[in-house]
Amino acid sequence: MIKPGSSGSVLRRCRGLVCALFLIAFLSCSPSPASAAPQELSPQTRAQVFDRVWKEIHEHYYDPAFNGVNWDDVRATYLPQVKAAQSDREFYELLNEMTGELHDAHTRFSSPEQWSNSRKQQHVSTGFSVDDIDGNAVITAVTPSSSAAAQGIEPGMTILSVDGKPVAERLAEINARRLASSSDRATRMMIYSRLLAGSPGSTVKLGLRRLDDSTFEASIVRHVISTVPDVATDVLPLGYAYIRFDGFQPHITSQFRRALTRFRNSPGIVIDLRRNGGGDLSVLLSIAGYFFDNKTLFAQDSTRSGKPLTQFAGLLRLPLKLYVARSGHPIYSGPVVVLVGPRSASSSEVFAAGMQDTQRARIVGSATCGCVLGIAKPRTMKGGGVLEISEVAWFSPKGRRLEGTGITPDEEILPTASDFRMKRDPALLQAEQVLRQMGGERRIARQYK
C-alpha cells in the first residue's frame, strides 16, 4: 500500500502497492490468542461503516464497470443483512462477503483481529500445507519441528476427513459459501485455506492415508506462526545456485543482494517464487534491477482515470510505465530460471512477467495465481476494521493483462502426489536442465576448468 515515509524516493514510498502477501489474508482468519474482546459497534456505527465501504469502492475501484458487477444491486442486497446483523463478527463477515462480490483477491475487508494478525505477519497453522493435487487434498509441506511432523504426517499423504467429515463434503460446504476470486486457481486456494482453519489452541482431528495406502488418524493443535519471509540459498547438484524467498518485503532486498553477490559467478541461478505471495513494489523493482545493466521497461499499470496514481496532495506519483536498471554492471548477468506455481501471486507474478517478457529468464513450473491488482492504501474504519481496494491493474512489459490470467510458464511442470511421496521436485529438476540449455553447461566447464 502507498504510505508516507520520512525520506526516500517515490518508489521506496510506494510500499506494497501490488500486495503485501495476500495469502496471509486468506489464512489469518482466526482471532489472535491474546486479543481482548472489543466493545460491540452500535447499529448506527455499523451503518456508517457499511456506507463508507460501499462508497469508497464506488469512487475508487480501478474498474468503473466493477468487474461486471452491478454495485448498486450489491448495496441493496447487503444493506438489510447488515441491519439484521447480531454481532460484529457477523457484520464483518458480511462486509467481507460484499467485497468478495467483485471477484477480486485484493479488494477485501478485514476485521480488526484479522488486520492485526496480517500486520504482525502471522497466521494460525496446523504445521503443514495442503494443496489440490489431482483432485485430492494432498499434504505438500510439513514444518519439521511441528506437532504434525511428530505425529508422522509427511508430504504426499492425503487427507480423507476433517473432524469426522469426508474432505469432499467439507470442501463442498466451503465452496457453497465462497464467491469466485480473481481466477479459478485463486478460488481453489481460498477454499483449501479454509479446510483446516480454526482458532489458535483448538484441535482438528484428521483422517489420513499414508504413503503405503494404510490409514490413520491424528489430532493436531492449531498454533500461531510467523510468516516473515527470509532468503534461503543452496547449490544444486549440477552446480547451479538456488535462491528462494516467499515475500517481497523490505528486509529481503539486502538479503537477496548478498545472496546474489555470493553467486555472481555461478553458471546459472534458479529463483524460487512458488510460495511467494507478493509484497512491496520497491523491493520488486530493486531486485529486478540487479539483473539488468540498461534502463529496461519491466512493468506497466493502469488506473481508473487513465492517469498516474497520485497520493498525498500530488507528492506521491506512480508512473504508468516502470523501468529497472542498475548503474554500471548488473550483479548477475548469467542464465536465470524463475520457478512459479499457483501460490505465486501479485508482486511475484509481476516479477515473473517482467523477467519473461524481457527474455531475461525462463519460467518453469505451473500457472500462477492470476491475482495481480494494486492496493494504494488501507482505509481504516470506525471500530478498527480495514478496507483494501484495488486501484491499479498491472500488465507485463508487452502489455499482457495479468489479473485473472497469471503467468503461463515457458516449461509447464505439474507435480503429482507421487512426487511429494518420493520427495522429488520435478520443476526444480527441469530448471537445472533448462539452465544447461541456456548455456549454463558451458559456464560450468569454464568455471571448473
Domain harbouring 222, CATH code = 2.30.42.10
Rounded to the nearest integer, the mean pLDDT of the chain is 87
Coil, helix or strand at residue 443: helix
pLDDT at 390: 96
**Higher-confidence residue: 82 or 22?**
82
Closest CA to 105 of 178, 50, 56: 178
pLDDT band (50, 70, 90) for residue 29: very low
Q: Is residue 58 part of a domain?
A: yes
Pair 349, 441 in one domain: yes
Residue 166's nearest CA partner among 199, 222, 208 is 208
Instruction: Please check whether residue 3 lies inside any domain of the structure.
Output: no
- What confidence score (pLDDT) does residue 326 get? 66
User: Hey, which residues does 322 pair with through a beta bridge?
Assistant: 299
Q: Tell me how many domains the chain contains.
A: 3
Give the CATH number, domain containing residue 251: 3.90.226.10
Question: Is position 2 within any domain?
Answer: no
pLDDT of 7 above 60: no
pLDDT beyond 80 at 202: yes
- Rounded Cα distance between 364 and 410, Å, is 6
Same domain, 197 and 325: no
What pLDDT band is residue 37 in, cutting at 50, 70 and 90? low
Q: Could you say which of 201, 226, 251 is where a domain stops?
A: 226
Asked if residue 136 and residue 97 are part of one domain, the reply reads no
What's the mean pLDDT in 296-313?
A: 85
pLDDT of residue 290: 96
Q: Are residues 149 and 237 in the same domain?
A: no
Residues 91 and 145 in one domain: no
Question: Would residue 379 count as lying in a domain?
Answer: no
Average of per-residue pLDDT across 125-136: 91
- Find the helix packing angle between 88-100 and 71-84, rounded to 10°: 170
* 115 and 148 together in one domain: no
Q: Does a structural domain hold residue 391?
A: no
Tell if the pTM clears 0.75, that is, is over it: yes
pLDDT tens per residue across span 84-112: 999 999 999 999 999 999 999 999 999 99
Mean pLDDT of 69-77: 98
Where is the domain boundary, 182, 197, 226? 226
Q: What is the pLDDT of residue 311?
A: 62
Question: How far, in Å, CA of 309 to CA of 313, rounded?
Answer: 11
84 lies in some domain: yes
Whether 304 and 239 map to the same domain: the answer is yes
Locate 296 and state its grid cell: 529496461
Domain identity same for 273 and 422: yes
Domain boundary pick from 166, 201, 226: 226
Domain of residue 78, CATH code: 3.30.750.44
- State how beta strands 336-340 and 362-365 pair: parallel
- The CA distance from 43 to 88, in Å, is 10
Q: What is the mean pLDDT of the segment spanning 73-93? A: 97
End-to-end CA distance of the chain: 49
Give the pLDDT score at 20.
39
- 29 and 81 belong to one structural domain: yes
Which structural domain, as residue segments, surrounds residue 290? Answer: 232-374+396-447
Q: Across residues 332-354, what is the average pLDDT?
A: 97
Q: What's the rounded Cα separation, in Å, for the pair 141 and 337?
A: 22
Instruction: Examine the domain organization and report whether 207 and 239 are in the same domain.
Output: no
Query: Is 4 inside any structural domain?
Result: no
Q: Verify that 198 and 291 share a domain, yes or no.
A: no
Claim to verify: residue 197 and residue 240 sit in the same structural domain: no
Residue range 4-9: mean pLDDT, rounded: 31
Reported as a pLDDT band with limits 50, 70 and 90, residue 313 is very low
Higher pLDDT, 1 or 51: 51
Residue 158 lies in a domain: yes
Query: Which DSSP helix (H) or strand (E) runs through 348?
Result: helix 347-357
pLDDT for 38: 64
